[in-house]
Amino acid sequence: MKCLLPAAFIAVTALPVAAFDRMTHQACRASFERLTELIKPNDSGSPSELRFISVTTDRWCQITAGDPGFETASFTELEWRMDGTLLWTEGAVPPLGLQVRVRGLDPDEMQGGVRTDRPTVSVDVTLRQEPAAGQVIVERAVMQNDAGDSLAVSGVFERVFLSSPSMMQVSMGSATFKAGLMSMTLEGSYENPFGFYIDVEMRGVPQAQRDAAFDLISRLPDGLISDASRAEIGGFAGELPKPVGTLEVSVVSERGLGLMQIGSSFFASAWKNNEDDEMRNEWEILLDGLLINADWSPAGKVAE
């Protein structure tokens, strides 16, 4: 297996790792209350829910499905902790670091209520911001199940300043994607083990899935991906719907890919009936300076 770790991540790993706060009941309840105020400002039920937030022995905040207020939760357990909790609870700005662990997610529900025998999924996420550098770093975001399937993602975003609500508004226009790394290992027992949404008409139709993947790969601009990496992704696509092995993909942007640009382009493409050539030209301009590297290691070669 090749090492596709972008230089941006090498620089990030050189930074000192900050310790996370030892969460207390008060901190847990205050952090959850701040979140509910943000996403559900008119919800009168949150005070009663706060009473059932607990603290684990290793000082993580914890919510358990089935507790009053969480009877319909889509998970069995939700845990979190922060670095710089007071920034969030008293200043209403994101903390310096956030770790979240979710257990018991149902891939069938995530995929719109289909019925399969796929095992439940767990998610672990670690986020960190470097205020002086204007960076937000996804140190590691992992989805996995007990069957041996796992998906790990890391990423670096620049020109993101979160010190105040006004700076956060500015960052909405300035934020850029700098580098990302994805590693996905599939054991092959289950189709779409993580519950990602795919067209119902394609589910269970191997050739339709392979054709759709090959079509997407063929549309990637030549300057975006080398022939070798295109062939690697093609090898993965040829094994759909149940590939067995590990796919690694790294993405690096020389200048930084503006998140506002991406959103605007997706919105525009959804409302415009552009010809394929016109859309291809637009995406080539948008993705100029972006480089994708990929490595597909089938099961027999994963250990090599």
Q: Which of 70, 105, 140 is the last residue of a domain?
A: 105
What local confidence, expressed as pLDDT, does residue 86 receive? 96
**Is the same domain home to 233 and 181?**
yes
Side chain identity at 154, as an amino acid letter? Answer: S
What local confidence, expressed as pLDDT, does residue 263 receive? 67
Q: Which of 39, 73, 105 is the last residue of a domain?
A: 105
pLDDT band, residue 228 (cuts 50/70/90)? very high
Structural element, H or E, at residue 121: strand 121-130
Rounded mean pLDDT of 243-254?
A: 94
pLDDT tens-place string over residues 256-301: 887 777 666 665 555 555 556 655 666 666 677 889 999 999 986 5
Q: Measuring CA to CA, which residue among 8, 20, 11 is closest to residue 177?
A: 8
What local confidence, expressed as pLDDT, does residue 51 receive? 83
Average pLDDT over the chain reads: 84
Burial class (CB in 10 A: 0-12, 13-18, 19+), 8: buried
pLDDT tens-place string over residues 18-27: 689 999 999 9
Phi, psi of 200, deg, nearest 5: -55, -35
**Is the same domain home to 227 and 243?**
yes
Rounded mean pLDDT of 78-107?
A: 95
C-alpha torsion sign, points 271, 272, 277, 278: negative
What local confidence, expressed as pLDDT, does residue 67 receive? 85
**Is the same domain home to 95 and 144?**
no
DSSP 97-120: EEEEEEEEE-HHHHTTS----PPP
Is residue 249 assigned to a domain?
Answer: yes
283 lies in which domain range?
A: 113-304
Both tokens assigned to 240:
């759909």
pLDDT band, residue 302 (cuts 50/70/90)? very low
Is residue 10 assigned to a domain?
Answer: no
CA–CA dist 302, 245 (Å, integer): 6
pLDDT band, residue 303 (cuts 50/70/90)? very low
Q: Measuring CA to CA, which residue among 186, 294, 293 is closest to residue 243?
A: 186
Please work out, in degrees rounded to the nearest 5, the angle formed at the alpha carbon of residue 107 by the alpha carbons of 106 and 108: 90
CA–CA dist 294, 125 (Å, integer): 23
Could you report how far apart the first and last alpha carbons of the chain are, in Å?
6
**Is the same domain home to 187 and 238?**
yes
Is residue 16 assigned to a domain?
Answer: no
Is residue 14 assigned to a domain?
Answer: no
Is residue 185 assigned to a domain?
Answer: yes
Please say if the pLDDT value at position 16 is more than 60. no
Rounded mean pLDDT of 44-50?
A: 65
Q: Which of 105, 125, 159 is the last residue of a domain?
A: 105
What local confidence, expressed as pLDDT, does residue 40 receive? 74
CA–CA dist 51, 203 (Å, integer): 43
Rounded mean pLDDT of 60-68?
A: 91
Is residue 52 assigned to a domain?
Answer: yes
**Is the same domain home to 90 and 143?**
no
pLDDT band, residue 304 (cuts 50/70/90)? very low
What local confidence, expressed as pLDDT, does residue 144 receive? 97
**Is the same domain home to 121 and 84?**
no
Q: Measuring CA to CA, which residue among 61, 30, 7 is closest to residue 251?
A: 7
**Is the same domain home to 53 and 87?**
yes
**Is the same domain home to 184 and 155?**
yes
Is residue 49 assigned to a domain?
Answer: yes
Phi, psi of 32, deg, nearest 5: -70, -40
Q: Which residues pair with 129 in a beta bridge?
A: 136
**Is the same domain home to 38 and 121?**
no
The answer to whether the beta carbons of residues 4 and 250 sit under 8 Å apart is yes
pLDDT tens-place string over residues 178-216: 999 999 999 999 988 998 876 544 556 788 888 988 988
Is residue 3 assigned to a domain?
Answer: no
Long-range pairs of 11-15 with CB within 8 A, sequence gap ≥ 24:
12/135, 12/137, 12/139, 12/156, 15/130
Please say if the pLDDT value at position 226 is more than 50. yes
By 3-state DSSP, what share of the chain in percent is helix, strand and coil, each rounded to 5? 30, 30, 40
**Is the same domain home to 234 and 303?**
yes
CA–CA dist 267, 256 (Å, integer): 20
CA–CA dist 171, 232 (Å, integer): 36
**Is the same domain home to 189 and 214?**
yes
pLDDT tens-place string over residues 112-168: 777 888 999 999 999 999 999 999 999 999 999 999 999 999 999 999 999 988 898
Distances (CA, A) of 88 to 79, 134, 139, 246, 301: 17, 18, 20, 38, 46
Q: Give the total residue count for the chain.
A: 304
What local confidence, expressed as pLDDT, does residue 254 receive? 85
Domain count, the chain: 2
**Is the same domain home to 76 and 129?**
no
